[in-house]
Structures are given as C-alpha cells and as structure tokens.
Amino acid sequence: MKRIALLDSSLEWSAPVGPIARGHSPAVSMNNQGDLVLVYANSIWTPVPELRARVGKLDDSSVTWHDERKFDTGSFPSVGINDQGEVVSTHQ
C-alpha cells in the first residue's frame, strides 16, 4: 500500500480490485457525505461518444459503486456534486 498525507489525515491505497469503468476522459467528484460521481466518455474514436456516469458511496475504506448509466453524448466531461446530492456535469 502507498500512503500520502492529505492535510490533517492520510490516505492508504490498497491493491486494485479491477476496473470501475472503461472509457476515456474520466472526471470524479465527491461531497462531504462520501457520495461520489464518476463521468467518462465510452470512446473517443466514435463519431458521437456516449457519456456515462457511475455513482458510489465511500464507506470507511472502500467505495461501493452502482451500475453505470448513459446520460448524454459528447466528450471531455467534468462533474461536481454538492452536499445535497445535486450533480452538475458539463462537456463538449
């Protein structure tokens, strides 16, 4: 495991458990409740890439991810989530 300092706490990296998603241009955001959103393009080589998202929840030391969903078409997505669970994503 690798350990890095983050302000007043630390983060331990465990061994990878497998891919969370397959795609390009990933972006992730997390709020203070441990809710996560991951967005990415499924392919940069198709004429109109699909944008996909997965949401997850951070528990003590791991993330539980839910199924991915297509939410739009485009490329280079970014994402943010606030403490009320509202998500905003932009892309080209």
37 versus 10: the higher-pLDDT residue is 37
What pLDDT is recorded for position 1?
43
2 versus 83: the higher-pLDDT residue is 83
Neighbours of 77 (CB within 10 A): 24
CA atoms within 13 A on the CB side of 1: 8
Question: What global pTM score does this model have?
Answer: 0.77
What is the spatial distance between Cα 76 and Cα 92, in angstroms, rounded to a whole number? 6
**Percent of the chain whose pLDDT exceeds 70:** 77
Q: What is the DSSP letter of 20?
A: S
Residue 72 clears pLDDT 80, i.e. is over it? yes
The residue assigned the tokens 């004429």 is 47
Q: Which residues contact 5 (CB under 8 A, 6 or more apart)?
A: none
